Amino acid sequence: MSNHAVPRPRFTAPDPERGSPEGGPKAALKIETTAPLLQGKVSELPDAVFGWTMRLCGLGVIALLGLIVYQLVIGSQLSWHAFGWKFFALSDWNPVEDQYGALPFIFGTLVSSFLALLIAVPLAVGVAVFITEMCPTRLKGILSFTTELLAAIPSVIYGLWAIFVLIPIMRLYVEPFLGKTLGWTGLFAGPAYGYSVLAAGVILAIMIIPIISSITREVLTVVPQHQREAALALGATRWEMIRVGVLRNARAGIVGAVILGLGRALGETMAVTMVIGNRADIAKSLFAFGYSMASVLANEFSEATGDLYLSALIEIGLALFLVTIVVNALARLMVWSVTRGQPAKSMA
């Protein structure tokens, strides 16, 4: 005890006195290095080792990203040289003749994801608003727990449920109904098999609702209480208070949450693969079979025989990776802008 305590004050005391007259830092440094402090020398090495090990782990996270990019870029070289940018514009996917175009998969991914957003966003925001603004406190915990529970279900189980419950419902009730009422638009035309881009959109919506609503909830709770009180004090009804005081302030964060949900939907593999029908077509009707970027990887990667085939698949993976990276980075920045700093400035 006294060994530790005594030398230190004596050792640091000269610093300010000697430092001021001439060449301050140098003089101080000399004393530090020549001071015969055994404890200091012994404890410095483990500290440095530990510090650098932890830094290495941090670096590891960045290295991981580098590794992913490296693997994907190297793997897709062959296909990139064979097709170039045309790869993303060709709609021909023919492993037998070594012709590869990714357009049908990009189309399927985009359509099913946007469909999912269309269904999920109003529901998720509604749930978040209900939980933060209207819900009795006792119900709050239960509700947020159950919505979180939805997020814990593995995607393959969603897929299993979709095959045996959702698909029959879509085939027997939803699709015939939509075909009858909205068939003239061309979006809901053709035979109803159940397996379809529409079904993929619905199951994706169910899967991304928890993510969107939990982040939206996070954002809404950050909106300062005085915004709500101010709106109410001006005579607003509860809905007006929510619209003007809460939703408007949290707008950027909600958009971020939605984009985060989009990122999840774009990369979702198993459930989509199990219901989308897996045919590389571009059809106008949502009842038609489709294919998504993640699904084609899931179905064909382990069976890809030729080098070019494998390379084309990896290039699809690279494209998927880049899109989700951009989408996620964007979403994170938007959520951070609300939850980290002050509430976003309302613009109108």
Partner 1 sequence: MDSGSNSEAVFIPAIGWRRWATDHLMTGLSVLTVVIVLVPLFAIFTYLVYKGIGSINLAFLTQTPKPVGEPGGGMANAIAGSAVILGIASLLGVPVGIGAGIFLSEYGRNRYGDVVRFVSDVLNGVPSIVIGIVAYGLVVMRQKHFSALAGGVALAIMMIPTIARTTEQMLLLVPHAIREAALGLGVSRWRTTLSITLRTATSGVITGVMLAFARVAGETAPLLFTAFGNQFWNWKLDQPTAALSLQIYTYALSPFDDWHRQAWAGSLVLIVLIVSAVAAVRIVVRRGRLAGA
Q: Which of 17, 22, 47, 97 binds partner 1 (CB under 8 A)?
A: 47
Q: Which of 21, 25, 62, 97 binds partner 1 (CB under 8 A)?
A: 62
Q: Does 141 bind partner 1 (CB under 8 A)?
A: no
Contacts of partner 1 in 292-311 (CB under 8 A): 294, 297-298, 301-302
Q: Name the residue nearer to partner 1 (CB basis): 27 or 289.
A: 289
Q: Name the residue nearer to partner 1 (CB basis): 266 or 283.
A: 266
End-to-end CA distance of the chain: 64
Q: Does 254 bind partner 1 (CB under 8 A)?
A: no
Q: How far is the CB of 67 from partner 1 (least distance, A)?
A: 7
Contacts of partner 1 in 81-120 (CB under 8 A): none
Q: How far is the CB of 294 from partner 1 (least distance, A)?
A: 5
Q: Does 260 bind partner 1 (CB under 8 A)?
A: yes
Cα 135 from chain centre = 27
Q: How far is the CB of 141 from partner 1 (least distance, A)?
A: 14
The whole-angstrom separation of Cα 132 and Cα 288 is 39
The whole-angstrom separation of Cα 171 and Cα 50 is 60
CA-closest candidate to residue 308, choices 92, 82, 69: 82
Binding mask 5-44 for partner 1 (x = CB under 8 A): x---------------------------------x---x-
Contacts of partner 1 in 170-229 (CB under 8 A): 206, 209, 213
Q: Which of 23, 154, 168, 186 binds partner 1 (CB under 8 A)?
A: 154
Q: Name the residue nearer to partner 1 (CB basis): 71 or 221.
A: 71
Q: Name the residue nearer to partner 1 (CB basis): 30 or 333.
A: 333
User: Contact at 8 Å (CB) between 310 and 320?
Assistant: no
- Buried b / exposed e over 139-167, threshold 16 CB at 10 Å, is eeeeebeebeebeeeebeebbebbbeebb
The residue assigned the tokens 């996270």 is: 61
The whole-angstrom separation of Cα 235 and Cα 107 is 48
Q: Name the residue nearer to partner 1 (CB basis): 18 or 321.
A: 321
Per CB under 8 A, the segment of 18-26, 48-56, 178-186, 217-225 that binds partner 1 is 48-56
Q: Does 147 bind partner 1 (CB under 8 A)?
A: yes
Q: How far is the CB of 183 from partner 1 (least distance, A)?
A: 24
Q: Which of 108, 245, 317, 343 binds partner 1 (CB under 8 A)?
A: 317
Q: How far is the CB of 292 from partner 1 (least distance, A)?
A: 10
